[in-house]
Structure 1
Amino acid sequence: MSEQEFDATLVTVIVLFCASGTGIYGSLTEGMSGDASILISKSILDFFTAAIFAANLGFVVSMIAIPQVLIFVLLYLLAGVIYPLTTATMIADFKAAGGVLMLATGFHMVQIKMFPTADMIPAMIVVMPLSWLWINFVLPIL
């Protein structure tokens, strides 16, 4: 595997593990309601996915656990602050943005279309404020 292919695969794996809608939504869900079922399911899936990617990338895959834990623990802790500010529509928009990111990652992995998945990560941060603005300011005008 060339260095360029290695780097592209590593970015894909980082996005897959650290910026997935399932992990982010699971961390927020556990922080808001105490339901850990999504994170448990994601952990099982990540274990097998990491084993597959480790065949190509080696021990580097295990290092992805460090930023993943930091991101998910931070989201878990912030969930108590975020929860009172969210609506069901905002959560649905957040899940949709995570789904689009996962779809783009899947297309990138099977080399159907090379989306810049790392550039899409900020959408996970901006989607809730934009959803709130849409619901409270744009939608009433329409």
Structure 2
Amino acid sequence: MIGPYVNGAALVVGSVAGALIGPRLNANVRLKMPMVFGCAAMGLGVVMVIKVKFLAPVVLALVLGSLIGELIQLERLIQKAAGSARRLVEKVAAPVDGISQEEFLDKFVALLMLFSMSTTGIYGAMTEGMTGDPTLLIVKAILDLFTAPIFASTMGIAVAVLVVPQFVIQAGLYLGATLILPLTTPDMLADFSACGGLIMLATGFRICGIKQFPVASMIPALLLVMPLSWVWATFLG
């Protein structure tokens, strides 16, 4: 297992570097680069969405998954954990100036999706688990290495905490890939990518401050989309 370690290391190094150079980083760079990364997330989302095979189960998964997420208040739970992470980190590091608690929590949830639950990371971990090829996760690590410092420059070292859910998710998928991938079809993977693309598109809007989509509440859709895609292909496709 190489990819999850490389990706995790890149996130930690980038976050630490961003927290250290933050006060000296040009204000325009700190304010405007997140919009660039948000735009990139939206572009990646569009590219992933166009791979869709059966649109109906993807939309159904997104609606049902978001409904489940809202009913269990998933985003609120994640925000609560983010607030705890910030307080814990600030006990051993200087508090972050110039960013409100509300803004911090909003960005933290969006970054959770960007770093830990993007389809690139999920599919990359599954691919390495089946084939031993960590290329996709290494590419993601390179992107995270340059993305993390920008956000850490305003949010502080707390961004590095995201390495925990990122590694747990990627390592779990890596270890479970031999059980998951044999049960999938190319159409199911295409619809999974499309569902992840819609969530990435919403994440991009949120990072850019255009619209506060409930991206954390959409997470259960990733668990529903492949079974729904199979049902649709088997009985209605």
TM-score, normalization by structure 1: 0.94
Aligned equivalent of 1:26: 124
Q: What are the within-5 Å matches in structure 2 for residues 87-98 of structure 1?
A: 87-98=185-196
TM-aligned CA deviation for residue 99 of structure 1: 1.1
How large is the Cα RMSD of the aligned pairs? Answer: 0.9
Cα distance in 1 between the residues matched to 2:115 and 2:164: 11
Cα distance in 1 between the residues matched to 2:192 and 2:133: 18
- Residue 54 of structure 1, aligned match among 113, 135, 152: 152
- Residue 197 of structure 2, aligned match among 64, 83, 99: 99
Q: What are the within-5 Å matches in structure 2 for residues 1-142 of structure 1?
A: 1-139=99-237
Aligned equivalent of 2:88: none
Cα distance in 1 between the residues matched to 2:102 and 2:172: 31
The size of the alignment, in residue pairs, is 139
Stretches of 4+ moved more than 4 A in 1?
none
Question: Deviations for 1:59-107, whole angstroms, at most 9, x for unmatched residues?
Answer: 1111110111011000011110011111000010111111111111001
Asked which structure has the greater RCO (Cα within 8 Å, sep 6+), the reply is 2
**Unpaired runs of 5+ in structure 2?**
1-98
TM-aligned CA deviation for residue 137 of structure 1: 1.5
TM-aligned CA deviation for residue 118 of structure 1: 0.4
TM-aligned CA deviation for residue 29 of structure 1: 1.0
Identity %: 53
Give the aligned residue type for 2:198. Answer: V
**Secondary structure of the structure 2 residue equivalent to 1:59:** helix
